[in-house]
Chains A and B, each alone.
Chain A
Amino acid sequence: AQKVTQTQTSISVMEKTTVTMDCVYETQDSSYFLFWYKQTASGEIVFLIRQDSYKKENATVGHYSLNFQKPKSSIGLIITATQIEDSAVYFCAMREGGGGYKVVFGSGTRLLVSP
């Protein structure tokens, strides 16, 4: 069964620094999709970035990037030049390939960015 684990409950950083959030996953599938979502203070959940398992290059979108380490079943989210508005809860998620469409989430990491 697929499983996603985020062990960091909360992280506090100063503005304009770089932060990395950890995520490890378990799956029996050779093909899968990995995602990071952000939940803002208002409760809204939005998609940030994804990594397809067959792609070797780490995904990058704006100041978000991923550190995909397939042998370690790890998909870290890196936020560079953090801003106050990056303060939120970040969820890692996985969908298995092979025709399945079940999407499971980790427990989330709360990020606080201070001025």
Chain B
Amino acid sequence: EAAVTQSPRNKVTVTGGNVTLSCRQTNSHNYMYWYRQDTGHGLRLIHYSYGAGNLQIGDVPDGYKATRTTQEDFFLLLELASPSQTSLYFCASSDDWGDSQNTLYFGAGTRLSVL
């Protein structure tokens, strides 16, 4: 069974603070994604990656950095957090092979509050 683990599950920080959201997948997938979910907007793509060291810019990248350190680990960094980044963040992984090709497997989400 595909597994994507996000940590922390909940995070509260102050405006201007630094935050790192972590995502680890044990699916041996090449692709990993970071989305934010806000009411009325659905899931919006922040950054995505194909393999360690690769990073692609999504549709709402402003204020976010990301790094894919290994095949398994993808991090989302907020270096100067702002209240507008208060959201529910999801990580997902997928790949091109197998019966579940192209299907996204999601983590449980991280709820971030920026005060």
Contacts and interface: CB of A to CB of B under 8 A. Distances in A.
Interface of A: 6, 33, 35, 37, 43-47, 50, 91, 93, 95, 101-108
A107 B90 CA distance: 15
B90 A45 contact: yes
A105 B33 CA distance: 12
Contact of A47 (B40, B104, B108): B104
Given A43-B108, A43-B109, A44-B106, A102 B48 contact: yes
Contact of B43 (A46, A47, A91, A101): A91
Q: Pick the most buried of A33, A45, A107: most chain B CB atoms within 10 A of its CB.
A: A45
Given A6-B42, A45-B90, A91-B42, A103 B33 contact: yes
A44 B37 CA distance: 12
Given A43-B108, A50-B102, A91-B43, A101 B59 contact: no
Judged by DSSP, the binding face of B is strand
Given A43-B109, A47-B103, A106 B48 contact: no
Interface in B20-61: 31, 33, 35, 40-45, 48, 50, 56, 58-59
Q: Pick the most buried of B48, B88, B104: most chain A CB atoms within 10 A of its CB.
A: B104
Given A43-B108, A101-B48, 18 more contacts: A6-B42, A44-B108, A45-B90, A47-B104, A50-B103, A91-B43, A101-B50, A101-B94, A102-B45, A103-B33, A103-B45, A103-B48, A103-B92, A103-B104, A104-B45, A104-B59, A105-B45, A107-B41
